[in-house]
Amino acid sequence: MPTISARTTTVTLFQGEDFDRELELRKALEAAAVNADNPRRLGDSQTVRQAAEAYDEFVAEAAERGVKVALRSVKRSVWRELVAKHPPRPDNESDASWGFNEEGMADDLVPLSVLTGDEFRNQQDVDDFLDDLSDADYSALYSAAVRLNQAQGPDPKVSLSSRLALTGDETSQQPTRLG
């Protein structure tokens, strides 16, 4: 009988002032892109390239300082129990679209999804850590946990490289959307 490993992902939570600095650098990149000579060929703009490199460098450094939280999907039976326990609230469009009460689901799903091990020795360590998080950081973990349990996996037959359009001076065009 084949076995399958639970899906896993790691969410990096930025520390302290890294959050503000990332936003500042992203805004600088967006401003450079708006002011670029040719917005269809942003890669040719030295200002845009420098802003992008500064952003990428900072994010890589901040990620090293960040707290990494490993998550895993829950078993199908557990997911179904959670969905049954948290039915959509009446007249709540968001709940209706997801098929469950988002607020209640978050409080149960995230603690079940955090992997114990090096960072967290037991469930009490997980609970204490989660209680200290901001709502935004908790939401980042929740979003990742929902994706692990609901997102379809990649199609092994899809080739994204075949969708890329070649561009050059003669054929400058908008890049092909990959999604």
Query: pTM for this structure?
Result: 0.76
**Mean local confidence (pLDDT), 59-72:** 94
Instruction: Report the greatest alpha carbon distance in the chain.
Output: 61
Residue 49 has pLDDT above 90, yes or no: no
What local confidence, expressed as pLDDT, does residue 7 receive? 92
Cα(9)–Cα(3) distance, rounded to whole angstroms?
A: 19
105 close to 86: Cβ distance less than 8 angstroms? yes
pLDDT digits (tens, 9 = 90+) for 92-148: 999 999 999 998 999 999 999 999 877 888 899 999 999 999 999 999 999 999 999
Q: Give the residue extent of every domain in the chain.
A: 14-65, 66-151
Q: For residue 79, what pLDDT band results from cuts at 50, 70 and 90?
A: very high
67: three-class secondary structure by DSSP: strand
C-beta separation of 101 from 87 below 8 A: yes
Side chain identity, residue 117? G
Residue 40 has a pLDDT of 53
| Half-sphere exposure in the Cβ direction for 132 (13 Å, CA) | 9
Residue 71 has pLDDT above 90, yes or no: yes
